[in-house]
């Protein structure tokens, strides 16, 4: 069986990230920060080497499905209509479709598919809850939301401080986010 070298894997993941950049410059930097936060959490939670690798790839590619979302919706400054929001929500499934056929990204594709699920079952696309969501997807969810709150985006002017953003994670701990992951991440942010 042909085994792909890790350097080849990471080069392929980088190539996918470059596709994202062509569509939307902001998203690439966001994905890199989400990967950095996710790895800090994963290492603190003492995940195994294989889980950490899949976590890194899934975090780097979590928004790759935005390639399939029309630019005018992706870059809209005004509030999205319900119909447009439904289109944006498709990015998890589109991302899954893009990478699920690639052997070394199969596990990552399943994690990516779940990165907008919530532990109270009110997420998308499958309304999964609690333990039915992969722990790796739950890590990306916390890292993704933190970066969205602490960095500037085209459709919002307010950037939260580290403290305000971790407080926001805490408020949504147990409904949107896994409480253990919020605890681990809050401690990481506090000590940095
Ligand atoms: Fe996303």
| pLDDT score for 97 | 97
Please name which of 138, 152, 118 lies closest in space to residue 185, comparing C-alpha atoms: 138
Cβ atoms < 10 Å from Cβ of 176: 21
Whether residue 155 has pLDDT greater than 70? no
2 Cα to the center of ligand 1, angstroms: 32
1 Cα to the center of ligand 1, angstroms: 34
* 6-190 classified as CATH 1.10.3210.10: yes
62 Cα to the center of ligand 1, angstroms: 6
DSSP 6-67: HHHHHHHHHHHHHHHHHH-HHHHHHHHHHHHHHHHHHHHTT--HHHHHHHHHHHHTTTGGGG
| pLDDT score for 7 | 86
Cβ atoms < 10 Å from Cβ of 113: 24
Please name which of 68, 100, 75 lies closest in space to residue 156, comparing C-alpha atoms: 75
Note the pLDDT tens digit of each residue in 50-89. 999 999 999 999 999 999 999 899 888 888 999 999 999 9
Note the pLDDT tens digit of each residue in 98-142. 999 999 999 999 999 999 999 999 999 999 999 999 999 999 999
Q: What is the phi/psi pair of residue 112, to 5°? A: -55, -40
Q: Whole-number mean pLDDT of the chain? A: 93
**What residues pack around ion ligand 1 (CB closer than 5 A)?**
63
169 Cα to the center of ligand 1, angstroms: 17
Whether residue 1 has pLDDT greater than 60? no
Q: Indicate the domain borders of the chain.
A: 6-190
């Amino acid at each position: 069986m042909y085994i792909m070298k890790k350097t080849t894997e990471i080069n392929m993941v980088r190539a996918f990230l470059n596709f994202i950049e062509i569509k939307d410059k902001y998203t690439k930097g966001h994905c890199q920060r989400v990967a950095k936060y996710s790895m800090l959490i994963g290492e603190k939670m003492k995940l195994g080497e294989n889980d950490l690798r899949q976590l890194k790839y899934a975090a780097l590619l979590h928004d790759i499905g935005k390639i399939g979302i029309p630019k005018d919706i992706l870059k809209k400054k005004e509030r999205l209509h319900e119909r447009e929001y439904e289109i944006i929500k498709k990015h998890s499934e589109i991302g899954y479709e893009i990478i699920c056929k690639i052997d070394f990204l199969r596990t990552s594709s399943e994690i990516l598919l779940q990165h907008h699920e919530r532990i109270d079952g009110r997420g998308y696309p499958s309304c999964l809850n609690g333990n039915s969501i992969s722990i790796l997807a739950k890590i990306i969810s916390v890292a993704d939301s933190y970066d969205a709150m602490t960095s500037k985006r085209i459709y919002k002017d307010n950037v939260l401080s580290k403290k305000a953003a971790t407080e926001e994670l805490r408020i949504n701990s147990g409904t949107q986010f896994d409480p253990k992951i919020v605890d681990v991440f809050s401690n990481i942010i506090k000590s940095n």
